[in-house]
Amino acid sequence: MQTKPGHELTSLMAALTLTTGMVEAVSLLALGPVFTAVQTGNTLFLGFALVGEGPVSAVATSVSLGAFAVGALIGARMESMAEARGYRWFVLALFVESALVAGAAFIAWGLERAAGSPSARHIATAAVVAIAMGMRNVTAMRARVPDLPTTLVTRTITALISGSPLGHDASLGYGSRATVRRGVGVLALFAGGVLGAWLIRLEWPPTGVLLLVAALILSIAAATTAAPRHAQPVGT
């Protein structure tokens, strides 16, 4: 499958990247600390927890890792089946993701920020969000928009620097228009983290922030439906 990443699709993927920052702000500052989208962090957290160093929970991180894997499996099966049957897999995936994040918000109803070890409800909330983020990663990989995986920016930052006038690496985008897209991806994740942390600082409960994230994802799904056909991943 090929992707035609026009300005509309690039903007939608950048908006999804912003929601990742918000989700991880809730996960790290209110539910854990635990990652739900950036599983590289959980892999390290689990290692730290197993040797008893740092304020991290082996249970929370391992549950999040497992839930993420379940989400990736569900996303792969659901989206490939939808595409094979001619359905709009990209839009379907966003609707399901939004529903999962909303479900996590209701699990967290009345829940305060975790103090010390996260409770069973904190972990359950993080697990449902991790399922949604596992699906998101499948969706982003299938969409194949360069430099916008929506849940991490390490490679994007590397390409941004290497393909800049300072790095001057033509194989990594020097002389192309990729710099703007890469910069947008990094700034979107940063902005999402700032927004999520700010809302938590204003004493928004986890439910409130997660419902806002769910609404934003739903809006992105609606915008995808309205976008010109050429601006969407082929097969949607």
User: What are the boundaries of each domain within the chain?
Assistant: 7-230
Query: Any long-range contacts for 160-168 (C-beta under 8 Å, 24+ apart)?
Result: 160/186
Per-residue confidence in pLDDT tens, the chain, 236 aa: 334 456 788 899 999 999 999 999 999 999 989 999 999 999 999 999 999 998 899 999 999 999 999 999 999 999 999 999 999 999 999 999 999 999 999 999 999 999 888 999 999 999 999 999 999 999 999 999 988 999 989 888 888 889 888 887 777 777 777 888 899 999 999 999 999 999 999 999 999 999 999 999 999 999 988 766 545 565 54
> Of the CATH numbers 1.10.3470, 3.30.428, 1.20.1250, 1.20.58, which one belongs to the domain with range 7-230?
1.20.1250
| Burial degree of 110 (CB within 10 A; 0-12, 13-18, 19+) | exposed
Query: What is residue 178's predicted lDDT score, i.e. its pLDDT?
Result: 83
Query: What is residue 169's predicted lDDT score, i.e. its pLDDT?
Result: 79
DSSP letter at 81 equals: H
Tell me, rounded to whole angstroms, the distance of Cα 87 from its chain centroid. Answer: 23
Query: What is residue 208's predicted lDDT score, i.e. its pLDDT?
Result: 97
Q: Is the four-CA dihedral 123, 213, 44, 145 of positive or negative sign?
A: positive
What predicted TM-score, i.e. pTM, was given to this entire model? 0.91
CA angle at 204 for the pair 202 and 205, rounded to the nearest 5°: 145
Question: What's the rounded Cα separation, in Å, for the pair 152 and 128?
Answer: 19
Question: What's the rounded Cα separation, in Å, for the pair 36 and 23?
Answer: 8
In the block, residue with structure tokens 């529903």? 99
In the block, residue with structure tokens 């601006």? 231
